[in-house]
Amino acid sequence: MRRLLLLLVLPWLAAAAPCEPCSVPGGTYHVALPPHWDGQAKLPLLLFLHGYRGKGTDITTDPNIAGVTGEQGVLLAAPDGEAGSWGHVGSPHRGRDDLAFLHTVLADIGRRWPIDRHAVIAGGFSQGASMVWDLACYDAPEFTAFIPFSGGFWQPMPPACTSGPVILRHTHGLHDSMVPMAGRAILGGAFRQADILQGFTRWQAEDRCPAAPDRTATEGALTCRFWSDCGSSGRLALCTHDGDHSMIRPWLAASLRWALAGGQ
């Protein structure tokens, strides 16, 4: 099984950056370059955050993630959470200023590779997605779009965001038991994941979008609602599926294409 996994990920490992891991003040990150990059052209970037107890190499060696970024010509970067966790608002782990850390990682990536500043996307899964929601809300200016999966705000929910309008597409399972759509208390009630739909109204307010989407579409197992006629430069999409706590390759591929197209 290990040999098979190595064979599957070999094309993306071969395209990995010379620093492994790449070190910055506060932590480390990992990268996988698109295999057909010519070494000079500007690269779109996907900064993708792992879930709880994960690590960046879980992302860069996963063919279902690195395969998508490789096919779409995108540089994949995956920071390591401190102790496998992220310090978003409401998190049980707040040892590091992760908003500052992620911008430090972004700056270091920009020094090492020619990044297309018009295509800098943040994504994440589970608790990594919760960190992406915080990044979009509080410190978004250097990012052009956000594609979180299966994680949102924790309590206390922000009464308002400071970043302004965003381009954000969220994907979530209707039967997610790890991060339920309705939220849940954890660790004896000391911490609480917030209601996803209630949190999404924060994005509608920030982007000045109407309550009802202007378009609904079926994308395989996903049902997606789109808000592209908002009173701002923001664009939103909320995609749901009938599954549990999961992210599969086609969903990431569709979200990344949407983000690279500016939410169109």
> pLDDT tens across 126-160, in order?
999 999 999 999 999 999 999 999 999 999 999 99
Query: How many separate helices (H) and strands (E) can be counted in the chain?
Result: 7, 12
pLDDT: is 264 or 253 the higher one? 253
Band of pLDDT at residue 264, cut at 50, 70 and 90: confident
pLDDT at 195 over 80: yes
Asked whether residue 14 carries a pLDDT value surpassing 50, the answer given is no
Identify the pLDDT of residue 17: 56
DSSP string over 137-148: HHS-TT-SEEEE
- Model confidence pLDDT, tens digit, residues 89-132: 999 998 899 999 999 999 999 999 999 999 999 999 999 999 99
5 pLDDT higher than 80 = no
Listed in sequence order, the residues at least 6 apart from 174 whose beta carbon sits closer than 8 Å to its beta carbon are 181, 240, 241, 242, 243
Cα 161 from Cα 139, distance rounded (Å): 9
Mean pLDDT estimate for the chain: 93
Q: Which residue has the higher pLDDT, 187 or 114?
A: 114
pTM of the model: 0.92
Structure tokens at 196: 């996803």
> Residue 98: phi, psi to the nearest 5?
-75, -25
> Residue type at 225?
R
Q: Find out whether 182 and 172 touch, Cβ atoms under 8 Å.
A: no
Domains of the chain: 2-260 (3.40.50.1820)
**Residues 16-36 pLDDT 10s:** 456 899 999 999 999 999 999
